[in-house]
């Protein structure tokens, strides 16, 4: 979530001046928040204070530029993100934000703002259940100062919003965050702060038993502000190890305190994971009722590998998981075995040879598909690492598992990129103060591309527009510096993990050249 900017009068005036706007009526801004929202043509996103969100979560919706440079887009996700409300009743859509209320009617340019009539530049349209509107018209009536940037093809709106719990940021930093909740010292989980952590985790567990995703720096010794989690941000997910981390922490707190409520919270999470498994053995990124690419079977960010590791621990009923009853442990074993079968089934074959895995697969056909717009269907040089490591962690692997590992390692060895390195160059004239570029270096250790083309096997790049590119230099600046297009994680896999594994399970049969 973007950081909240507490306004002073001077900051407000300076910010609005950047839009070329006067600031009439700006008298007392104490406690108010300035939020800058932008829509860029050709991109399926909106940004708030520079942080990107999807225009329609899980879909690839892009704003349209109509004649007269009128930006036309759905606002059903943007307005709630700013702390407002959106509703559709019959043919009437209502947008409420910052004390203002706008009503529009599908197919009509007649609208009202705070009860007063006005004319829209374009009549709203209904597309796939979403109401599309002329954005500038609605934003202005909701109190925004609006600016069109012809060079960047970007529409921006500056909103001054009154205090709202929906706009309050999560507590950040501290000794225990979302990123460190499972890595504290053992004695921590029985301490007063450990108990506090357990209670915070239970406090934002969803009714379905899963947990939503929060940023890694969110302080989990402070209750999570669920009011700020609208739409898919409040949906249960396995993305970024969500749900798995919370379950692991609850198990630690329970074992340290023997307070049953923490075991009960863990078991609700386990039941969620068991219910969420699809008939084909996979898990979707979000469940239940996922939308768009959120419904894909997801290896991205090691999601399924993390789930299977948890299920293996439960199925074995190791000392830490003795509180899990035998019937649930049996269900975990079955889910675990179906998950392994899915991994073996989805290993990609290119030119007759097994390679790695795609980051996501169609939930029905199990064909490799695009995830986010900049994550095209491809062989993943990143996600395939942990999938391979997971298969290598299986005790007494079957011949099928051994063959899958051997094929993946062979592909990694062939796919390595030598003689280049990724270099950061500071440049204060750029938006983020630096750029990245690939330069020649004969002595550099090998790199791997994040994605490889399914047909050619060559490195694959793109941007938020989803257009395939062959060269890293052609990636848009924001995606070039804000996304990892290269990986070095396969180095240790090939140099350390594989030699130990092959010596144990396939002695004398190393595939490394």
Domain boundaries, the chain: 9-167, 170-346, 348-513
Q: Is residue 343 within 8 Å of residue 282, measured between CB atoms?
A: no
How far is the CA of 348 from the CAs of 120, 386, 476, 497, in angstroms?
51, 15, 29, 22
Q: Quick one: pLDDT at residue 29?
A: 52
The model carries a pTM of 0.88
pLDDT at 209 over 90: yes
Task: Assess contact for 304 and 69: CB atoms under 8 A.
Answer: no
Place 30 in a pLDDT band, splitting at 50, 70 and 90: low
What's the CATH class of domain 9-167? Answer: alpha beta
pLDDT, tens digit (0-9, with 9 covering 90-100), for 96-106: 999 999 999 99
pLDDT for 168 equals 85
- Residues with Cβ within 8 Å of residue 36, at least 6 apart in sequence: 15, 48, 49, 50, 156, 157, 158, 159
Q: What number of other Cβ atoms are within 10 A of residue 495's Cβ?
A: 12
> How distant, in Å, are the alpha carbons of 52, 100, 235, 250 from that of 84?
18, 9, 19, 34
The pLDDT of residue 10 = 43
pLDDT number for residue 167: 84
Task: pLDDT band for 491, please (50, 70, 90 cuts).
Answer: very high
**Does residue 4 register a pLDDT over 50?**
no
Q: What is the mean pLDDT of residues 360-388?
A: 96
338-358 mean pLDDT:
97
CA neighbours closer than 13 Å in the CB half-sphere of residue 376: 20
Note the pLDDT of residue 15. 46
Look at residue 392 and give its three-state secondary structure. Answer: helix
- What token pair was written down for 185? 């010292």
Q: What local confidence, expressed as pLDDT, does residue 230 receive?
A: 82
Q: How confident is the model at residue 22 (pLDDT cuts 50, 70, 90)?
A: very low
Q: Report whether 198 contacts 262 (CB < 8 A).
A: yes
Residue 457 predicted with pLDDT over 70: yes
Question: Is the separation of the CB atoms in 201 and 223 below 8 Å?
Answer: no
pLDDT on residue 5: 36
* Confidence at residue 233, expressed as pLDDT on a 0 to 100 scale: 87
Measured CA to CA in angstroms, residue 235 lies from 20, 89, 111 at distances of 39, 24, 33
Span 130-173, pLDDT tens digits: 999 999 999 999 999 999 999 989 999 999 999 888 888 899 99
Residue 406: pLDDT above 80? yes
CATH label, 170-346, candidates 2.30.30.100, 3.40.1280.10, 1.10.15.40, 1.50.10.20: 1.50.10.20
Query: Which is more confident, 434 or 14?
Result: 434
Q: H-helix or E-strand containing 97? A: strand 92-97
Taking residues 298-321, report their average pLDDT.
Answer: 94
- Whether the per-residue pLDDT at 381 is higher than 50: the answer is yes
Determine the average pLDDT of the residues in 238-259. Answer: 97
How many other β-carbons are positioned within 10 Å of the β-carbon of residue 507? Answer: 8
CATH of region 348-513, choose from 3.90.1150.10, 3.30.70.100, 3.40.50.620, 1.50.10.20:
1.50.10.20
- In angstroms, rounded to a whole number, what is the distance separating the alpha carbons of residues 46 and 448? 31
Contacts (Cβ under 8 Å, ≥6 apart) of 183: none
Closest CA to 405 of 292, 299, 287, 505: 505
50 confidence band (pLDDT: 50, 70, 90): confident
Q: Which residues contact 426 (CB under 8 A, 6 or more apart)?
A: 433, 434
The reply to whether 170-346 shares the fold of 9-167 is no
Q: Decide if pLDDT at 12 tops 70.
A: no
**Predicted confidence band of residue 28 (pLDDT cuts 50, 70, 90):** very low
């Amino acid at each position: 979530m973007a950081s909240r900017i507490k306004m002073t009068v001077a900051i407000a005036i300076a910010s609005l001046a950047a839009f070329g706007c006067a600031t009439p009526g700006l008298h007392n801004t104490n406690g108010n928040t300035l939020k800058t929202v932008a829509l860029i043509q050709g991109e399926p996103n909106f940004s708030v204070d520079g942080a990107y969100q999807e225009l329609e979560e899980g879909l690839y919706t892009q704003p349209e530029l109509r004649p007269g440079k009128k930006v036309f887009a759905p606002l059903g996700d943007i307005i709630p993100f700013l702390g407002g409300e959106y509703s559709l009743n019959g043919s009437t859509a209502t947008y409420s934000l910052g004390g203002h209320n706008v009503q529009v009617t599908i197919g009509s340019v007649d609208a009202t703002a705070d009860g007063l009539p006005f004319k829209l530049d374009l009549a709203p349209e209904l597309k796939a259940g979403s109401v599309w509107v002329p954005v500038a018209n609605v934003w202005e009536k909701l109190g925004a100062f609006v600016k069109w940037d012809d060079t960047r093809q970007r529409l921006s709106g500056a909103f001054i919003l009154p205090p709202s719990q929906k706009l309050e940021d999560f507590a950040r930093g501290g000794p225990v965050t979302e990123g460190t909740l499972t890595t504290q010292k053992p004695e921590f989980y029985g301490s007063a702060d450990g108990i506090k952590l357990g209670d915070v985790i239970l406090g934002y567990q969803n009714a379905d038993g899963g947990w939503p995703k929060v940023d890694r720096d969110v302080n989990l010794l402070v209750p999570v502000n669920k009011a700020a989690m609208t739409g898919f941000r409040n949906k249960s997910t396995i993305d970024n190890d969500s749900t798995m981390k919370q379950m692991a922490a609850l198990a630690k707190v329970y074992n340290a305190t023997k307070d049953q409520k923490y075991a009960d919270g863990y078991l609700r999470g386990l039941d969620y994971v068991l219910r969420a498994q699809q008939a084909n053995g996979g898990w979707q990124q979000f469940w239940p009722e996922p939308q768009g690419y959120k419904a894909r079977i997801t290896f991205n960010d090691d999601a399924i590998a993390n789930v299977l590791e948890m299920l293996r621990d439960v199925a074995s009923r190791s000392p830490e998981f003795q509180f899990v009853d035998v019937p649930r442990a049996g269900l975990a074993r079955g889910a675990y075995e179906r998950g392994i079968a899915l991994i073996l089934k989805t290993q990609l074959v290119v030119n007759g040879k097994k390679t790695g895995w795609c980051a996501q697969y169609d939930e029905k056909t199990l064909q490799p598909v695009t995830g986010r717009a900049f994550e095209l269907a491809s062989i993943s040089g990143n996600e395939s690492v942990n999938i391979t490591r997971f298969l290598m962690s299986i005790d007494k692997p079957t011949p099928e598992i051994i063959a899958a590992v051997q094929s993946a390692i062979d592909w990694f060895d062939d796919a390595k990129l030598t003689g280049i390195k990724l270099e950061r160059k500071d440049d204060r004239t750029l938006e983020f103060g630096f750029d990245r570029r690939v330069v020649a270096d004969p002595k550099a250790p090998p790199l791997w591309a994040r994605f490889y083309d399914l047909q050619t096997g060559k490195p694959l790049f793109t941007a938020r527009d989803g257009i395939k590119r062959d060269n890293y230099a052609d990636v848009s600046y924001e995606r070039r510096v804000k996304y990892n297009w290269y990986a070095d994680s396969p180095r240790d896999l090939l140099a350390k993990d594989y030699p130990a594994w092959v010596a144990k399970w396939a002695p004398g049969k190393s595939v490394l050249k």
